[in-house]
Structure 1
C-alpha cells in the first residue's frame, strides 16, 4: 500500500505503456477522522485518528470515552488526556479531583503537575502540589501571588511593558507558532513559524532566502534592506509602519540598518530598539553597576522614558564586552568582525568611546573624541571623506580599483544589487524583470531624496545570533 497524502490510498495500479512504470489510481477515504483507510474499500477505516476507534463494520470512527485519547473500543483506553488518571488494569480514565491538575498518576486526589495557566505550590512533604489559577487570561505560568504572568500559553504571545512585565497574552496570528509584542506600538509580530515558512513583516510567509536566512521557521539574518527585530525580518517601510523604527531614524551601517532613536522607554542597543530595563539592570544606586545607557554626563542612568543614550558604561558582569556610544545607542566592541553591528565599527574602546576603528569600517573615526563621521553615501568603506576602498550596497564600481565616490555608481531605482550595472536583486526581495524593480515606497513623508531611499532599502545583513546572545545575557542578568 502506498500513501498519497492523508486519507489518500492506492486502490489499483494500471500497467504503463512499455516503460515498466505504473499509473496509480488514488481514491480519498470517505470515513471522517480516519487515519488508515481500508486498501480495498474507501468506505471503510482500519485505523482512526487519536480520540476515535473504528465501528464494528469499519464504516465510521467513534469518539473514545471522556478523557481518553487512545482506545480500541468503548471500554478499553490506553492513554488519557491531561487532567485524567489512567488505570492500566481497568483500561479507563478518571478525572483528577484537584482543580487545575494536569497529572495525578498515583491517586486522583494527589496532583503532581498543574495545567498551563495555574501556579504550582509544592506540599511540605513534597508529595503533591496545589494549583492556583493565574490572574491574567491565557497566561501559561505565573508567580506565587498569581498576579505576575511569566509566560503565555502555547499559541499566545506576550505584550511587555517597558519594565518587561507581561501585561497581556493575545492569540498569535494564523499560522504563527510564536509571537511577541515588546510594547513598541507594533502589536504582536510573528517570531516563529511552521517549517517552510519565515517571519517576514510580522507574518509567516513562504520562505524567501533573498530576505530571510535561517531554518526551523525563524530568521537568523535579514537581507535586501530588511531590518531584524525579535527573530523576524521587516522592510524599512514596514518597520516604520509598525513603529519599530521610523524612516527618519533608520541609518545604514555598512550592510546593516540600525535605529538611532526609539519610542519612549526603548533605546538603541547594538542598533535595535530594546526595552531600557534590559539594558540597565535595576539597582538601588543612582548609577547601578550594571547600567549601560547613561546620560550625557555619564553620572546617572537615563530616565525611564528615554529614547536614546547620552553615554555608555561597561557593566561589571563577568565576560561582558566593552561598550561605546554611536548615534544615540550603546554598541559592543569586538576585536574581530563578528555578527554584532558594533564589531563592524569598533575593535577597541575605553570609557564608553571607541578608540580603534574596525577594519573596513563604513564610518571615519576620530580616535581622540570617539566620534564617527559617515563615509560618502557611495562608499562602503573609506579612510577619509574623499577616499573610498569599496562601494556601498546599492552602488556598483565602475573601475577596477575603487579610490573615491566617483568610482561608484548608483544601481537602477529600487535595485539593491547590480554587479556591472545589471540588477540582480530588488528592494522587496524579488528578482528584477527586464532589469527593472517595482518602485520603492514613497518617501514624501520622510523628506528623503531618491538617493537616500536607495540607501535605506539597500541590502541588510543583520545576524541575530549575536543579538540573541546579548538578549539572553540581559535577561540572565535581570534574573540575578
Structure 2
C-alpha cells in the first residue's frame, strides 16, 4: 500500500509539473498551481497609485497591463483613465491604443498627431507641431489662434484674402498662386522675373512691331520701285 501511495504521489507531482509547463507564452502558473495567470511583475508604487493592477517590465520601463477598477489603461500605458478618448484611440481588451498617425500625448492620457519636435526656428516662428526634419521640416499647427502661413515655415494672424484659402488652420495658395518670397502671402505663379515693368514690356513690343514694319516697307519699295526703274 505504501508503495502504491508513493507511486500516486509521484504521478501527481509529475502532473503538476506538466501543468505548470503548459502555460501559454506571457503567462505563468498561479500561486496554487491550478491555472495560469499573466506573467507580470509587481507594479511600482507610481503605477499602483496611477490605478494599475498588473504590470510588466521593471523600473522606468514598467507598464500597465490592467487597471484595478473598470478604468482603461491609458495610451502611454503608465496609468489608468475612465475611458478611451474617442476618434484618436481604439480600445483593445481594456487598453487604449492610438489610432494610425497618432501617438500618446505628453501626459499620456490621450493621443496627438505623430509629429516631430519643431526646430527652434519654427518654434520661434509660432509653430506648435511640425513634420519632417532639418530644413525640410514644416508647420502643422500654431501655438496660438494664428494660422500656418502659406510656406508652412511659421504662423501669421490670418490668411491673406483673395490669394489664399484656410484649410484646418493652414493658409493655402489659391489656384495660379504660390507662396511669396517671405512666405507670409501668395503671389501669381507666372510672376515676371525679368525685372521689367508691364509698361516697359508693352513699349518694347510696340517698338519691335514698328521696326519690323519699317523694314518690310523698305524691302517692298526696294524690290518693287527699284525694279521698275
Classify the TM-score, shorter chain: 0.3 to 0.5
Q: What TM-score results when the alignment is normalised by the length of structure 2? A: 0.35
Greater Rg over alpha carbons, structure: 2
Q: What TM-score results when the alignment is normalised by the length of structure 1? A: 0.20
